[in-house]
Chain A
């Protein structure tokens, strides 16, 4: 029998009446009041997510930078202390072991935040490749992580403006926090990291400031509207970054695991591409549904699908043959045996209207 792990905020979720579900070995809130109101709270105002299930590794030592440069696809020389970078942990086949954010604290000190479901795989991979003068340490259990997201999040938290992908130490209502200007919703916001024992105090403070508690359900609809890939769905150990549209995270001028394979894919052009699409008929696409009717070429498969609360339509992403990947191309999704029409659209699917 497997016991589900619980974050330090489990008691708060239960008290708030959240619906808890198993996710990547954790018992996590999928929703409080409902996915759609929570989604709207983040798009219109401010929501807070417990993402303490995510993994935090410290990578330290005189050769920490060198180690990460050899394991991660993006170029850490592009960021300085106090900055962060979205990057990929790749394998020898050019596949994606995990997508993660690396926070540079100093030349010899990084924090990397990995997906909950890949914590063990990513840790094992990095540990295995450790070099002299570098040490990777899984500190996930020491921390809680709260994502506070939405156009009013900075104002509600009383934080100064700062550029995206920066970080700083700070204090929020008496709790010491690392304030990371990162997120997974496409909105302005922060991810606040604190000591596990301070998690409830921080959660209460953020909620008292007006952030609406949000579950993983809204987290998924929010990220899919803005086409942020989900590892395990849209990107995996068997998909390469070029086909996934993540070429911009790959510094192909440097050496890192699988770089030669990725260069070759880029050179030849990918056979399939991860596209975003919107349903033209009333239907909700779901992961695993076949994409058929893509010209004469072989079809593809939906890797993520949901109902977009902002568009009030079915939306999704999936791999299709490269010659069918252009915006405006028509797709047919097999929704439980019924053909439903969809159209490829530019990413992101949802964009705030200019005001």
Chain B
């Protein structure tokens, strides 16, 4: 079942419809409800390699539905500590729980100062309203 629309407080958001949950110098990243809804049920997550890196504003993977494929944009730069194997095996997890079980990667931030450039939930909702 697809999740209903939500944008949790306490996450940081990127304009390209990605979110980051910051915990110290680490962050968990995924795509927002808006992104998964626009794509439809996901059938493939082209995941990056663990141990690789993300660069803020650049693609680190692809998510794909029956009809469309989209780059996943890194909200922050860092080292990829972990890829969510559950999403690799069952991509629809992203549709069911985009902010929980449907996270994509966990990274160690290389420049924690970048966090300041991300949107808070109110700013992201404003950004969505302008889409």
Q: Which residues of A contact B (CB under 8 A)?
A: 30-31, 34-36, 217, 221, 282-284, 286, 306-307, 309, 312, 314, 336
Contact = CB atoms under 8 A, between A and B. Distances in A.
Interface stretch (B6-14, B17-25, B39-47, B97-105): B39-47
A283 B62 CA distance: 11
B41 A34 contact: yes
Nearest to B92: A36
B66 interface: yes
Nearest to A33: B2
A35 B44 contact: no
Nearest to B62: A336
B119 interface: no
Interface in B50-70: 62, 64-67, 69
Given A217-B67, A284-B64, A284-B69, A34 B2 contact: yes
Contacts of B2: 34
Contacts of B67: 30-31, 35, 217
Contacts of B66: 35-36, 217, 221, 306-307, 309
20 contacts: A30-B67, A31-B67, A34-B40, A34-B41, A35-B41, A35-B66, A35-B67, A36-B41, A36-B43, A217-B66, A283-B46, A284-B43, A286-B69, A306-B66, A307-B43, A307-B64, A309-B66, A314-B44, A336-B62, A336-B69
Interface residues of B, number: 13
A306 B64 CA distance: 10
Interface of B: 2, 40-41, 43-44, 46, 62, 64-67, 69, 88
Contacts, number: 38
Contacts of A306: 66
Nearest to A335: B46
B102 to A, nearest CB: 16
Nearest to A282: B44
Q: Which 10 A-B pairs have the closest CB atoms?
A: A307-B43, A35-B66, A36-B41, A307-B66, A34-B41, A284-B64, A217-B67, A284-B44, A34-B40, A282-B44
A31 B44 contact: no
B18 to A, nearest CB: 20
B40 A307 contact: no
A34 B43 CA distance: 12
Contacts of A34: 2, 40-41
A31 B65 CA distance: 13
B128 to A, nearest CB: 17
Nearest to B88: A282
A221 B43 CA distance: 13
